[in-house]
Chains A and B, each alone.
Chain A
């Protein structure tokens, strides 16, 4: 029996809702290939999560349990899943491309002498072969990647590549099987401490309806004021890509991207942002995206609704005036 296994993610006993996107991917691939879709949750005392997943259209859910799986460590997760997969072989193992998955999946795949195709944005079954699409060269190109080994093939999916609201519910609850794994002494070498947020969050970008965001194209810290004037004129919030915050030009709570906030405002206006994958993943769900960049090849233009190829320093000042006029 050819099995697709979706390993959902839980952190501190809570299901990470991006896992529904992975189930959607699994359901789509199962429909195309005719393979059997199963799911697993890995942790300590996570039966409730297994129950939640069992309500979806999957053939079976496994609750992989060990006291050593809480708190999360890459050693424990890789070990437990290796033991599980050796007893319950799968052709394909799917996970969301989260920071936690990135921390252990390459280790798990290597332990099983196989590979992980990571940060995938699409999957299709063509001529009896599964092709996984992933971005390369910071989104300038995409690649169709095939698996050349004997299995299992691990695949991690980029946030937002499938729609969680498209997940199919099951006609009845799927059976849940608890699998206890013994994680011996000495396997876990890391000692994690509490998860925390650094500074007080002065702004919650996820609540902003309009965001004006700056990237490297803003060139100098003093130029950010221009973007702020535009944000103020529009009644929006100021945000930035990672390098701007790393430089200390804006505080970290203004960062949009995989390490910062994920936003979906009515309007995302990107100034001098090239559109690196780690940034796009934090704003591609915005209702309208307007991009201004002097590079016509910038990947941001792939996802923009309105695009202006030009010098933001020439365009933003008259833009501020026009906005003020329109609002007067």
Chain B
């Protein structure tokens, strides 16, 4: 099985974020990590390779710093990496990101393409589905299980409120992967060492630009959410705060 995993580098979960001066994006001087659902997608690809043999290729579109997510993926066991490297890849809409990736992989044939179901920074939840359409491939989203089935695959699709659905689809296909599909592995020291010599192909913006177009959505302004609630902060040492809270629960909120 030849599997492509699309990874995105996003600000670390608990990184303190600040708005840039223009109020259109965040300041970039924060720590980054791989988008969590994408990490689960990579893990799933590595497990499928372990089961059925094959190759796992990872791709990211981002600035130079995004190479880190590819290195970590190679250290975990991916075979080669593709880095669409340019600052311009930050803040592209999903349509353009998908078009750029499709252009970068046009000479390859993958059996499966994984993305995370959405990114933790932008949360559009679209790139995988758009990529499937551009490539003319069937797709399924929010996937919690994959197995081979009669020349194709059977996937378990997560729905709301604890419901699920199995779907059969032919290969090749695109799947967007849900967090929790598996348990993430750690890179081993040997893996980290081997990562340094695995192929890393750089793709410039110029090479894929003709496939892209103008962004069809524009962030006019990014700002801190306006509070619609009057949040009351209780302060003091733990014992005192516990007393205050119980008093509120009893007398104000009337739940005790």
Residues of A whose CB lies within 8 Å of any CB of B are 74-75, 78, 98-100, 102-107, 109-111, 114-119, 131, 134-149, 189-198, 201, 209-210, 234, 242-243, 245-246, 252-253, 255, 258-262, 266-267, 274, 276-277, 288, 290, 295, 297, 299, 301-311, 314-315, 318-319, 321-323, 325-327
Contacts and interface: CB of A to CB of B under 8 A. Distances in A.
Given A189-B170, A304-B229, A307-B232, A99 B162 contact: no
Given A110-B95, A146-B218, A288-B253, A306 B234 contact: yes
Contact of B255 (A114, A261, A267, A302): A267
A192 B95 contact: no
Contacts of A142: 222-226
B135 to A, nearest CB: 11
Contacts of B142: 99, 102-103, 259
A43 to B, nearest CB: 17
Contact of B249 (A104, A267, A277): A267
A93 B16 CA distance: 36
A140 B121 CA distance: 10
Contacts of B72: none
Interface in B40-89: none
Interface string B224-254: 1111011111100011011101101110010
B190 interface: no
Interface residues of B, number: 77
A99 B239 contact: no
Contact of B165 (A117, A195, A295, A301): A195
Nearest to A104: B129
A259 to B, nearest CB: 6
9 contacts: A104-B129, A106-B133, A107-B132, A107-B133, A109-B130, A137-B17, A142-B223, A194-B166, A267-B249
Interface stretch (B1-9, B105-113, B153-161, B199-207): B153-161
B125 A110 contact: no
A4 B35 CA distance: 35
Nearest to A311: B238
